[in-house]
Every structure is written in structure tokens, then in C-alpha cells.
Amino acid sequence: MSEKLIGRFEIRGELGRGAQSVVYLAWDPQLQREVAIKTLHFTRGDPARNAELLQEARTSSKFQHPNVVPIFDAGEQDGDPFLVFEYVKGQSLAELLKSGGPLSTVKAATLLRQVADALSQAHAQGIIHRDLKPSNIIIDALDGAPRVMDFGIAARVTDAAQDAGATAAGLTGTPAYLAPEYISLRRIGPQNDVFAAGLVLLEMLTGQRVFDASSIEMLLYRIATEAVTLPAEPALDPKLGGIILRACA
């Protein structure tokens, strides 16, 4: 891809980078606005997969919610697909937790309620996120509201990288947030997102990932066989604790 242009979009800087993707700040000269462009590069080129991913993105672009970062456009350049999103100024929930530690009960509940509302409306339209995690939730600098990214594209991003949307054994999503029924039975449904939302809420309250391990295989085994439990410290609000355990049951 050109260092200056992706499609009609003028690249102004890099916002983030993963194992198989780069996110750029860009300018749309046609609509005269800043946008965020996510480019995806796979080890092996696959036109059929690219076409499916772009179709998923176009389908998801029809879903509008105030707590979702909308997809404006999608395309392909030099064999690599790219997605164009609204540019949201702010930091990810992952960055917020890394720099500031656990959130207060009220703030965590407020953020999760808005994320859950977005998930509920998406599920009603048959759209499952499949890769909900703190790094896919942007905290808008303007109003502090959470904005969920990457709706509808995780199912097509399948390459081998732990935090870039793929796992061993053909699983899709970030390993630490996959649901047990998906790992064990390959069952896909809204419950996958509900489980991940429960993990995200618990992570907001403790500042730590719920599941961790020395290898992806061990991580997947732990999630598939160990029930989510609440920590003794810090003591959690009983109502939120109940919500977490229900989401992760």
C-alpha cells in the first residue's frame, strides 16, 4: 500500500499497529473529514476471504448505535483489504486500565451498561461481535462514552496471532476473551459476546485479565474447564458480582 494514499484517503499518521493490522489517521478529501483506516495484511493472500470480509463490513455498516464506531467504507488495495471508520479521539479501555488501574464501581457499571446496550441491539439484528475486549472499546475524549470497534469483521480475520484476532485450531477471536462453548463446541451466538462482556466488566473492576497462561493452548484449556470466580480482594459490589457470574456462567 502507498505510504501516502489508501484508496482516495490521504494518510496523516499511524494510530496503532498489531500483528496483522495497522490503523492510520487519514483525511477523506471527498467528504472533508478525518477518518481512521484499518488495513489488514494476511500471510497468505486469499481473494475469497477478502471478499467475504468486505461483505461482512458492508453488512455491519448498516448497524448504527451511539456506542459503536461506525464503518464508513471498505475496499481493497494491493491485495490487502482496508476498512474506514469514524475517527474517535480518545484512548482504548485497555490503555485506560493500563495507565490508571481498576475503575470505580460506578464508572465500570456505566461503561458496561452502554456496551451491553450496543451488543443487545446488534444481536437483535443478527450481528455478533466475536472479538469484544478492552482494546476494541474506545473511550471517547469528548464525552467519556465507550465506543465499540470492529463490529462484524472478527469472523473473517483468521491468521495466527494471539492479540490480532486469531488463535490455534481455527478459532476466531482473541484467546483470553473466547467463550467456553466456542472453544469446546465451536458454538457461535450472542452468548459469546455476553461471556466476553462479563470478563471485560471483571477486568475493569480488578485491573487484571481474568484468564492468563503461558501458552495459547493452556489459556484455552483454562477457559474451557475453569469457572469464572470473583476475587476476594478487591471486594466487589454484590450486584455487579452477580451480573459477572451470570454473564460468564
Nearest to 137 by CA among 157, 116, 162, 158: 116
Considering 73, 131, 150, 193, which one is annotated as catalytic? Answer: 131
3-state secondary structure of 39: strand
Q: What is the 3-state secondary structure (H, E, C) of 146-174?
A: EEECCCCCHHHCCCCCCCCCECHHHCECC
Residue 131 a catalytic site member: yes
DSSP-based three-state secondary structure for 86: strand
For residue 47, whether the previous peptide bond is cis, meaning omega lies within 30 degrees of 0, is no
How big is the chain by its Cα radius of gyration, in Å?
18
One-letter identity of residue 56: E
Catalytic residue set: 131
